[in-house]
A and B are shown apart, each in its own frame.
Chain A
Amino acid sequence: MRGRFTFIAISAVALLAFACADADRTVPVPTPAALSPTPAPVPLAFPKDEGAHENRLEWWYYSGHLQNESGDEYGFHFVVFQSLDPLASGDSGNGQGPAYAAQFGLTTVSSGRHIHEARFSGGEQPQSGPGLSGLQVADWSLSANPDLHTIDVGTDDVRLSLSMIPTNPPALHNDIGWLAGPTTGWTYYYSRPRMAAGGMLELDGQRFIVSGDVWMDHQWGEFFVLGNPAGWQWFGIQLDDGTELMVTQTRNVDGDIDALYGSFIEIDGSLKSIGLNPGELELITEGSWTSPHTGAEYPSGWVIRLPEEELHIEIYPVVDDQEIISTRPDSAIYWEGKVSINGTRAGSPITGDGFVELTGYVFPEPLPWRILSTVDRHVEVAE
């Protein structure tokens, strides 16, 4: 009996381990449940939808044409990206909440100078109202409400503080402001194609009062942007007759064009989706420009035709080199630039201003990525 007690006592510690041990067992991998279908789009409502959403990717995009009191012309673009990546943040991640990236570019038409810079930040930014109030990305800020948008951005060379007032209602693309894509997934998408802008531009120590027109895009959804050879050409055009035109052409991962669509917005703000039927919309690329920075060959110079509107326009960059080069691996390299428009509508000459965005022309760096090359690139860009 006592021997048994001894055995029981000495086994006490061992039992602790056995308690955790389990017999060999196997379980077949179960068949996954079917995904719930993509949620039906809900009608957009403002001012709520001017603000941020809890989706994987969202951006507020401003591109504008400004003039100072002396008549000098400038083109600028400013974009804030919000990323809610469940694998990069959230409760189980580093707790940093959404990640923000902002990019700003300014083109001086007379000198052909193009300046661009970026800011990054992360973390929740509680909003006081339904729109976007004072969203900070490092030292840059953005507010977006139906009656007023403001931006305040600055670099070592330039500072732009701008107020923008929408002059027409939001343009809901694809009629409902929702479409599948750009490549994988779905997105809400509306524009404010013409906002009257006024503010202060400080460039190389000189301050100007500036005014002009700004195009604003707001997109959010669950989608992935694919890169080279996939990508898109996007055009936001403000014609002098008070109409606006948005055209997007997308390429699939084989580099083939898989969609060409757009919106034509009348002076009264009414929107007509175009490109749904063959022959409604035609986009022709006229030339190309090769980046001395990345070696990427971008289209440069286009013709757009809308037969039904009797619209024929030619589009040319005011400056060739308006390439945006990311300083971080989580931002893409693309071309975003001010363009000038000449053409005819119903036989009459027409001009305008526009912005063009070209993505997916830089081949991704070979895998695996090398940090040192990344640092080199960053320093080169910083100069």
Chain B
Amino acid sequence: MYSLGLTIYRKRWTVLAFWAVLLLIALPLAPRATNALKPGGFSNDNLPSAQARAVFRDKLDLTPMSFELIFRSDTYGAYENGFTNDLQAALSQIGTRPEVTRVITHLDDPARVSPDGRSAHVTIGLNLDLEDAREFLETARPLIEPGDLGLTFTGGPPLYADISLSSERDVRRAEILAFPLSTIALLLVFGTLIAAFLPATVGGVGVILALAAVALISRGVDMSVFVLNIVTLLGIGLGIDYSLFFTSRFREQLAAGDSVEEAVATAQATAGAAILFSGVTSLIGLSSLTAFEFMMLRSVGIGAVIVIIAAIFAALTLMPAMLGVLGPRVNAFRVIPSLLSRTDRDMWGSLSRWVMARPLMVAVPTVLFLLLLASPVCGIRLGTVDATILPPELESRRGFDILRDEFGLLNQTEVPVAYVFDEAEDIDPLSPGNLERLYAFGQALEGLDEVTRVRSIVNVSPDLDTNTYATLYRVPEAVTDLTVQTLLRDSVRDGAVLFLVESDVEPFGPEASNLVSDIRAFDPGPDVALFVDGGSAEIKDVVDSLYGRFPVVAGIVIIATYLSLLILFRSVVLPIKAILLNVMSILASYGALVFIFQDGHFASLLNFEPIGVIEATTPILLFSIIFGLSMDYEIFLLARVSEAYKRSGDNAASVAEGLKRSGRIITGAASILIVVSLSFLVADVVLVKAIGLGLAIAIFVDVTIVRALLAPAIMRLLGPLNWWIPRWLDRILPRIDISP
């Protein structure tokens, strides 16, 4: 690393020119990332509910893609000519488009009229996937001229369009906030404009480079819109962190009398190596996301890996080149006294000595306090995103609220079940024999706990039995009852019948999940298969799939991290301590998320509407990011402790020494990352807010409570065990020496 530092210094102008060219290439590409990213990605085709969706499409002609139009008049009732004439005009063009499979208005289904009789919602069915449907909206909007009627677009494609738009806007807003705030934090750390400006530049360049790479990769691989947020957050945060460590070491070396060349090379050999190592640790954590089958997590993992590599690359090449050019001018333009130059270095040392004098008295209440912070996690309800993650003023969200509040839709659990006959059998579902089986299944569904109603051709009225249904359906075309006619039209095809199971339980709660399990548990007998879809089934499948794999992925991350730390610190116990403390920070952050975003505390302060659940991917995302990031600080801290221990052999003194020497750099770096994370609180999308706050809390807990109190207390309790390693293991492990 030292010689790499020397080479970069000697060829600093070439390196800068290389980066200039790289930036010139990346700059026009980076903005394209926005257009190439996709919404959704919270599901995958292997889930039982996704397979069920294919059955619904193929067997029941139920294409899941549709959007809703809500028409309203303050003058006319929904059945008056003033309303219906405008409605006809509004739908005349869209109804003829080849992408449109069906248009259902209140004239087909009277339940589509609001109780005040002045609003009606219309479903426009599409034969498109989500992405194409989102694009089709641009075509559809000008075709729908509502005349004097008020019109609101909502449903899947408009909601996803707004999520993409908001996500993009959130990133811009967060960037606008994050860059100046982190620059201020850097100014506080370094005191000089140039030194503060450098890490911000390196961070920004890393983000641009990563976004350009994302734009290129997204041509071949589906990438989520949330990649933008993660790339920005990690890019700025890590880029600045790495540069901070590097610049700080460089200044130290200059202050110690090194030449610029020596200072660059030494900083590269020490801080550079630490950056490389901690970067790789972060990579291990975040690359774990790519192991998930969900596009959202996988692509965020890919985005994170890219941005970490970009940040490492920028910190290890661009940074030394810039420092080489600047030399002592790095300290130019002092605006405020530097935190680094203040003589409070021993605060951390004194604190750790105080802690180590009474380790149990500190450790026990601290652990209890962390457990208290984490305790809300016991009530965690994992859910999926719906429109409530959007701010209420957006059109699609307003429409969602109207459908929920005025039309009474979306409040209850609806579980669609496809009852599919084996094609080798009699496939007329309306034959008396099949009606008998269907009737039995319909009755069984009605008998389930929590089921309030079942909509199907054999659950029309409690007064009808199999024989009556057989009479009623002998000539289906003769049925005049609108409900029955609608059921026959929409829920019966050759060989398949749809049952819609309704319940008052919350769609994403455990009761809904149990209901899905109960339905799936039915064995309908030979030659019949059941397929269960719907939001509740999907979230159950997503959660089962995510958390079925999570322990394995988490295990691999932990083992990989353990091995890295084992090699680095030649200790069997210290990595376990590091991982354990890390997990405590993560659990505390989970607890805070549940307390705030699920239970709704501080909702008005943070300007969001509680969504009642924690989005299922959020804990996994946070685990990966926090595990990666916190380990950074752990490495910087333990590297100093280990260095002191090697020198003195005194456990307590080395812990104090390590804390003292790494204290302010870690505090500075962490505070910048906290600032960047907190800047995502201005996001409109609740999911982004939650990730930002979750990260900030976890880092805060990690660098304050855990680092200042718990880490020294535990290390004191462990004593020489901290540094225990079997001789044979020490012999076979590779040796890496770093000192930031």
Contact = CB atoms under 8 A, between A and B. Distances in A.
A12 interface: yes
Interface stretch (B11-19, B473-481, B639-647, B704-712): B473-481
A35 B483 CA distance: 22
Interface stretch (A105-113, A116-124, A289-297): A116-124
Nearest to B109: A329
B110 A120 contact: yes
Nearest to B446: A32
B139 interface: no
A269 to B, nearest CB: 33
A234 B609 CA distance: 59
A93 B583 CA distance: 46
A3 interface: yes
A10 interface: yes
Nearest to B577: A2
Interface of A is mostly: loop
A328 B79 contact: yes
B196 interface: no
Contact of A372 (B103, B443, B465): B103
Interface in B452-480: 452-453, 455, 459-465, 468, 471-472, 474-475, 477-480
Given A16-B380, A226-B480, A328 B107 contact: yes
Contact of A229 (B81, B478, B555, B577): B478
Interface in A1-34: 2-3, 5-6, 9-14, 16-22, 25-34
A22 B517 contact: yes
Given A10-B583, A229-B478, A371-B107, A92 B453 contact: yes
A375 interface: yes
Contacts of A32: 439-440, 443-444
Contacts of A369: 108, 489
Interface stretch (B36-44, B337-345, B543-551): B543-551
Interface residues of B, number: 98
A127 to B, nearest CB: 20
Contacts of A10: 551, 554-555, 558, 579, 583
Contacts of A88: 110-111, 482-483
Contacts of B555: 10
B79 A379 contact: no
Nearest to A366: B477
Interface in A58-90: 85-90
Contacts, number: 234
Nearest to B92: A372
Interface residues of A, number: 80
Contact of A17 (B472, B525, B546): B546
A344 interface: no
A94 B408 contact: yes
Contacts of B583: 6, 9-10
B546 A371 contact: no
B523 A30 contact: no
A257 B409 CA distance: 44
A198 interface: no
Given A18-B547, A29-B522, A253 B580 contact: no
A147 interface: no
B480 A254 contact: no
Tell me which of A2, A96, A360, A371 has the highest count of chain B C-beta atoms within 10 A of its own C-beta.
A371
Contacts of A374: 105, 107-108
Nearest to B479: A226
A47 B452 CA distance: 35
A29 B475 contact: no
B375 to A, nearest CB: 11
A14 B550 contact: yes
A14 B550 CA distance: 7
A169 to B, nearest CB: 30
Contact of A185 (B79, B103, B463, B510): B463
B95 A16 contact: no
Interface string A338-379: 000000000000000000000010011001111110111011
Contacts of A12: 377, 587
Given A13-B623, A29-B441, 13 more contacts: A6-B579, A10-B579, A13-B377, A16-B377, A29-B440, A31-B440, A184-B464, A225-B481, A227-B479, A329-B107, A367-B488, A371-B91, A374-B108
Q: Which 4 A-B pairs have the closest CB atoms?
A: A17-B547, A330-B482, A32-B443, A253-B475
8 contacts: A88-B483, A99-B110, A122-B115, A226-B475, A227-B478, A253-B475, A330-B482, A374-B108
